[in-house]
Structure 1
Amino acid sequence: MIYKIRVFLDSKEDVFRDIEIKEKQTLFTLYKGIISAFSLQGEELASFYELDEEGDQGKEIPLEDMSDDGTDETMADFYIKEVFSEQGDRLMFVYDFLEMWTFVAELVSIEDKPAVLNYPLTVYRFGSMPLKAPKRELEIIDLEGDEDIDFADDAGLNDLQIDDDLDLEDL
């Protein structure tokens, strides 16, 4: 079986690639396909994240095992058919944790056709890659309370006041 996965760049402009991959290849192979399809350097750390139906991020599947004892699962431990079981299944892919290139990979179709070339194979390209990673809205969850802090609207940050009770001589 050949899986067609559409990988979207999280940006204002539409930028995506369709990648075909064999069901018995791993997420590491898909990682290599994404790096190639989007002309990324491939020298940075990356992770896939499970996404639920609402788009909430779940379990991390990293490129490399970062545990002390070497027992954590990595991209090489998951077959495509395990993580993409039906059409519409999605994973988030984050490349370069400093720049935060963020993508969503979605299973578009599963086709019973013979493999013709080396996979993964980029079969469709739409849009141009920006030179820099698109900025994302940063949302920090307040673990103490029930409110989310949304930094997309930073008006509240500009209204910070210095505490009048602060005695600078005590510093």
Structure 2
Amino acid sequence: MIYKIRVILDTKDEVFRDIEIRDKQTLFTLYKGIMSAFSLQGEELASFYISDEAWSQGKEIPLENMDESNEDETMADFHIHEVLPEVGARLIFVYDYLNMWTFSVEVVSIEDKKAVLNYPLTVYRYGAMPLKAPKRNMEILNLDEEESMDGNEDDDAAFDDLEIDSEMDMDDY
């Protein structure tokens, strides 16, 4: 089976690539295909995340195992057909945790055709790849606000009601 996967860069301009890959190849192979299709250097850490129809970020599948126990699975441990079992299945791909290149990955077709070339293969390119990663709109917490982070204003009052032992001699510590 040959999967056609659309990989869309999360940016204001439309930039995407269609990549064909065999069902028995791994996510690591898809990672290499994305690196090639978008002309990324491939020298930074990256992860795929299982996603749903709303593009919610689920389980992480990293490029490399960062756990010393070597029990975590990596991209090389998952075949395409396992993670993307049907048309419409989605992943989120993040490359370079410092610059946060973020891509939406979706299966657009699965065809039972003979493999004719070496896969992965970029079969369609649309849009120019920006030189820099698109800026992320990160939500920043304002710690100066009256309200606590969970919305319960009584938490601060509980600290104000604590009695402090004024007779405590700090030299004893």
Which TM-score band applies after superposition, normalised by the shorter structure? 0.7 to 0.9
Q: Does 1:91 align with 2:91?
A: yes
Report the equivalent of 2:162.
none
Question: 1:20-99 residue pairs with structure 2 within 5 A?
Answer: 20-99=20-99
SS of match in other structure, 2:81: helix
Go from structure 1 to structure 2 and tell me whether the alpha carbon gap of 1:110 and 1:140 turns closer, same or farther (over 3 Å shift): farther
Report the equivalent of 2:161.
none
Q: Does 1:102 align with 2:107?
A: no
> What is the aligned-residue RMSD (CA, Å)?
1.8
- Cα distance in 2 for partners of 1:65, 1:141 equals 31
Question: 1:104-143 residue pairs with structure 2 within 5 A?
Answer: 104-139=104-139
Cα distance, 1:56 vs. partner?
1.1
Q: How many residues in Structure 1 have an aligned counterpart in Structure 2?
A: 147
- Cα distance in 2 for partners of 1:62, 1:141 equals 28
Report the equivalent of 1:158.
none
SS of match in other structure, 1:139: coil
Cα distance, 1:68 vs. partner?
1.4
Cα distance, 1:138 vs. partner?
1.1
Larger Rg: 2
SS of match in other structure, 1:34: helix
SS of match in other structure, 2:105: strand
Cα distance, 1:119 vs. partner?
0.2
Go from structure 1 to structure 2 and tell me whether the alpha carbon gap of 1:140 and 1:24 turns closer, same or farther (over 3 Å shift): farther
Cα offsets for 1:88-140 (capped at 9, x unmatched): 11100000000110001100000011000000000000000000000121136
Q: Which amino acid aligns with 1:145?
A: D
SS of match in other structure, 2:150: coil
Q: Which amino acid aligns with 2:25?
A: Q
Cα distance, 1:40 vs. partner?
0.2
- Cα distance in 2 for partners of 1:7, 1:16 equals 5
Is there any run of 5+ residues in structure 2 with no aligned partner, and where?
Answer: 143-147, 152-173
Is there any run of 5+ residues in structure 1 with no aligned partner, and where?
Answer: 147-171
- Cα distance in 2 for partners of 1:144, 1:82 equals 39
Q: Structure 2 length as normaliser, TM-score?
A: 0.81
Q: Structure 1 length as normaliser, TM-score?
A: 0.82
Q: Which amino acid aligns with 2:15?
A: V
Go from structure 1 to structure 2 and tell me whether the alpha carbon gap of 1:23 and 1:141 turns closer, same or farther (over 3 Å shift): farther
**Alignment equivalent of 1:145, drawn from 143, 150, 155:** 150
Report the equivalent of 1:14.
14
Q: Which amino acid aligns with 2:150?
A: G
Cα distance, 1:144 vs. partner?
4.6
